[in-house]
């Protein structure tokens, strides 16, 4: 059966604790040690139900969508569009027409910059972002600025990695035409008060784009309740495949926007004199889409929703508390990003040992962490460091894995004594 998670017990701590059984890739050894996968902010592993849904598409009803009258194409179209409906329900969008399949968060933000941005933002206008954005929420606006002379304005953050919002009213000026903010920082873990930012921006009639790449997998997002105008996320960070993601947009705004790319499927009628465009969401989905990816993402959302979200949050927050306490037992370890409200992301530096050396040693024990600037160089510049080690956890991780990390960080200290 499509989209059937292995574990369907809701509201049950046992099912959360046994969640990792659904992930075949977690059950392996790396360098003769059981894999400890702490690189979930980069990409999460995929449950069996997602793998099966992709396999089933290719091995039984592989076909192109939307244009076929034959049975395989009809089935592919149905499954692909069902995935869109699952995502609509998951984020509580008003209509499935507001769910646009894209390659990922980066693609979604570029779409908004080049479509909404080029038609609504002019020379001298401002786009407000934060100091903790991923490069994918900085560079698309800089490209737009080069094209049309608009400017970027930045909300700063404090030493704990929390946004400084005292001056938000001034930063939201009459020139501000869009606010684009990250919900949860990938390098600090900070969860930003986007409700406040959206409310204040809307008081001045300014639309808001939320980068939910690092929040969609850690809580419940209701786009109608949030009242955000656009929201972007990547499938591969919420247990789905790579190369697929979602741009949510309010229908009224999407309808006004010109297409981002031209080609098949996004048109209504083409002639050399004039072309008319397809209705939403297809207007923004030129060419053959990532069909297997869409179906796989649908399966991932079904998998995620088969768990009680409050149990997921509780488990991840318990891992966060435990990890914060244990990591500080390592002599010389400094956590980067200590916001009150954060996801289970531990960015740290250890004395003057280079993060790449730490990551390389940890890998010898089967521990997968990420080292570097995490595509947030302005965050590194803020702390005057080139890089951090980042361990990012989700609900399939365990306290024992944290203990093992801490043990091996002590070993790193020994090596560099
Ligand atoms: N925004 C944030 C906060 C991220 O963490 C990432 C990826 O790590 C992105 C955007 C870009 O996501 P993708 O590379 O899937 O497009």
CATH of residue 34's domain is 3.90.1150.10
Whole-prediction pTM: 0.96
- Environment class of 180 (CB within 10 Å of its CB; exposed 0-12, middle 13-18, buried 19+): buried
Q: Are residues 177 and 280 in the same domain?
A: yes
**Cis peptide leading into 281, omega within 30 of 0?**
yes
DSSP state of 245: E
* Spatial contact of 200 and 220, defined as CB atoms under 8 Å apart: no
140's CB contacts (< 8 A; 6+ apart) are 106, 109, 110, 112, 113, 114
How far is ligand 1, taken at its centre, from the CA of residue 239, in Å? Answer: 14
Residue 142's CB is within 10 A of a number of other CB atoms, namely: 14
How far is ligand 1, taken at its centre, from the CA of residue 130, in Å? Answer: 15
Question: Which residues are part of the catalytic machinery?
Answer: 375
How far is ligand 1, taken at its centre, from the CA of residue 136, in Å? Answer: 7
Query: Residue 234: CB within 6 Å of ligand 1?
Result: yes
Q: Which of 195, 213, 201 is nearest to 134 (CA)?
A: 213
**Tokens (6 digits) for 233:** 């996320």
Is there a domain that residue 177 lies in? Answer: yes
Is there a domain that residue 1 lies in? Answer: no
Q: Are residues 269 and 410 in the same domain?
A: no
What is the residue whose two structure tokens read 């849904």?
53
Q: Are residues 60 and 192 in the same domain?
A: yes
**Tokens (6 digits) for 407:** 């043990």
pLDDT, residue 68, reads: 83
Query: Residue 136: CB within 6 Å of ligand 1?
Result: yes
CATH code of the domain containing 112: 3.40.640.10
Is there a domain that residue 2 lies in? Answer: no
Q: Which of 363, 416, 347, 307 is nearest to 13 (CA)?
A: 307
Label residues 303-322 b or e (16+ Cβ within 10 Å = b): bbebbbeebbeebbeebbeb
Is there a domain that residue 312 lies in? Answer: yes
Instruction: Indicate the residue among 275, 305, 335 that finishes a domain.
Output: 305
Q: Are residues 292 and 330 in the same domain?
A: no
Label residues 47-70 b or e (16+ Cβ within 10 Å = b): bbbbbbbbebbeeebebebbeeee
Domain of 409? 7-45+308-415
Q: Which residue of 234, 244, 370 sits with most ligand 1 atoms within 8 Å of its CB, as the best mutation to test the pocket?
A: 234
- Environment class of 219 (CB within 10 Å of its CB; exposed 0-12, middle 13-18, buried 19+): middle
Q: Are residues 36 and 147 in the same domain?
A: no
How far is ligand 1, taken at its centre, from the CA of residue 271, in Å? Answer: 38
pLDDT, residue 14, reads: 57
* Spatial contact of 160 and 339, defined as CB atoms under 8 Å apart: yes
Instruction: Say how many residues make up the chain.
Output: 417
Query: Residue 243: CB within 6 Å of ligand 1?
Result: no
What is the residue whose two structure tokens read 């034959």?
70
Q: Round to whole Å and give the CA distance between 181 and 178.
A: 10
Tally of domains within the chain: 2
pLDDT, residue 77, reads: 98
Q: Round to whole Å and give the CA distance between 54 and 2.
A: 9
Is there a domain that residue 245 lies in? Answer: yes
Q: Are residues 301 and 312 in the same domain?
A: no
207's CB contacts (< 8 A; 6+ apart) are 116, 178, 179, 201, 229, 230, 253
Atom of ligand 1 nearest to the CA of 107: 16
Q: Are residues 300 and 312 in the same domain?
A: no
Query: Residue 241: CB within 6 Å of ligand 1?
Result: no
The protein residue whose alpha carbon is closest to atom 6 in ligand 1 is 213
Query: Residue 110: CB within 6 Å of ligand 1?
Result: no
Each residue's pLDDT expressed in tens, for the chain with a length of 417 residues: 333 433 344 444 457 778 999 999 999 999 999 999 999 999 999 999 999 999 999 999 999 999 889 999 999 999 999 999 999 999 999 999 999 999 999 999 999 999 999 999 999 999 999 999 999 999 999 999 999 999 999 999 999 999 999 999 999 999 999 999 999 999 999 999 999 999 999 999 999 999 999 999 999 999 999 999 999 999 999 999 999 999 999 999 999 999 999 999 999 999 999 999 999 999 999 999 999 999 999 999 999 999 999 999 999 999 999 999 999 999 999 999 999 999 999 999 999 999 999 999 999 999 999 999 999 999 999 999 999 999 999 999 999 999 999 999 999 999 999
DSSP E strand boundaries for 57-160? 99-102, 126-130, 151-155
- Environment class of 325 (CB within 10 Å of its CB; exposed 0-12, middle 13-18, buried 19+): exposed
Instruction: Indicate the residue among 245, 271, 305 that finishes a domain.
Output: 305
Q: Are residues 247 and 139 in the same domain?
A: yes
Q: Are residues 61 and 167 in the same domain?
A: yes
The protein residue whose alpha carbon is closest to atom 14 in ligand 1 is 106
Query: Residue 214: CB within 6 Å of ligand 1?
Result: yes
SS (H, E, C) 157-188: ECCCCCECCCCHHHHCCCCEEEEEEECECCCC
**Tokens (6 digits) for 378:** 């302005």
DSSP E strand boundaries for 16-112? 29-30, 33-34, 36-37, 99-102
Q: Round to whole Å and give the CA distance between 404 and 330.
A: 12
Q: Which residue of 108, 111, 186, 242 sits with most ligand 1 atoms within 8 Å of its CB, as the best mutation to test the pocket?
A: 186
162-to-192, 249, 314 alpha-carbon distances in Å: 7, 27, 22
Instruction: Indicate the residue among 276, 305, 334 that finishes a domain.
Output: 305
Q: Round to whole Å and give the CA distance between 156 and 339.
A: 14
Q: Are residues 12 and 59 in the same domain?
A: no
Q: Are residues 150 and 226 in the same domain?
A: yes
Query: Residue 40: CB within 6 Å of ligand 1?
Result: no
Q: Are residues 187 and 236 in the same domain?
A: yes
């Amino acid at each position: 059966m499509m989209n059937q998670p292995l574990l369907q017990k809701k509201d049950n701590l046992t099912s959360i604790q046994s969640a990792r059984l659904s992930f075949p890739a977690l059950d392996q050894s790396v360098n003769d040690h059981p894999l400890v996968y702490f690189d979930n902010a980069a990409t999460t592993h995929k449950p069996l139900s997602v793998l099966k849904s992709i396999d089933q598409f290719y091995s039984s009803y592989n076909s192109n969508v939307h244009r076929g009258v034959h049975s395989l194409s009809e089935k592919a179209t149905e499954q692909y569009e069902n995935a869109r409906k699952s995502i609509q329900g998951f984020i509580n969008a008003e209509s499935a027409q507001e769910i646009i399949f894209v390659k990922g968060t980066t693609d979604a933000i570029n779409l908004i910059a080049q479509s909404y941005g080029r038609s609504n933002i002019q020379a001298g206008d401002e786009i407000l972002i934060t100091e903790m954005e991923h490069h994918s929420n900085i560079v698309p606006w800089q490209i737009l600025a080069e094209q049309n002379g608009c400017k970027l304005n930045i909300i700063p953050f404090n030493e704990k990695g929390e946004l400084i919002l005292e001056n938000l009213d001034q930063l939201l000026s009459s020139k501000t035409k869009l606010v684009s903010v990250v919900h949860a920082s990938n390098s600090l873990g900070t969860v930003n008060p986007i409700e406040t930012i959206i409310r204040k921006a809307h008081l001045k009639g300014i639309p808001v784009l939320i980068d939910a790449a690092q929040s969609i997998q850690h809580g419940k997002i209701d786009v109608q309740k949030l009242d955000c105008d656009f929201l972007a996320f990547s499938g591969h960070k919420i247990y789905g495949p790579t190369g697929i993601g979602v741009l949510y947009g309010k229908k009224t705004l999407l309808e006004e926007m010109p297409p981002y790319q031209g080609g098949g499927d996004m048109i209504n009628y083409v002639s050399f004199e004039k072309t008319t465009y397809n209705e939403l969401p297809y207007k923004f989905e030129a060419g053959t889409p990532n069909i297997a990816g869409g179906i796989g993402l649908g399966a991932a959302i079904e998998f995620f929703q088969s768990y009680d979200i409050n149990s997921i949050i509780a488990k991840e927050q318990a891992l966060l508390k435990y990890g914060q306490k244990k990591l500080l037992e390592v002599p010389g370890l400094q956590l980067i990003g200590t916001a009150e409200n954060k996801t289970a992301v531990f960015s740290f530096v250890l004395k003057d040992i280079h993060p790449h050396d730490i990551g390389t040693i940890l890998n010898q024990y089967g521990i997968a962490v990420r080292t570097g600037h995490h595509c947030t160089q302005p965050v590194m510049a803020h702390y005057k460091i080139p890089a951090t080690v980042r361990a990012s956890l989700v609900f399939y991780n365990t306290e024992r894995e944290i203990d093992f990390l801490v043990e091996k960080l002590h070993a790193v200290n020994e090596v560099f004594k």
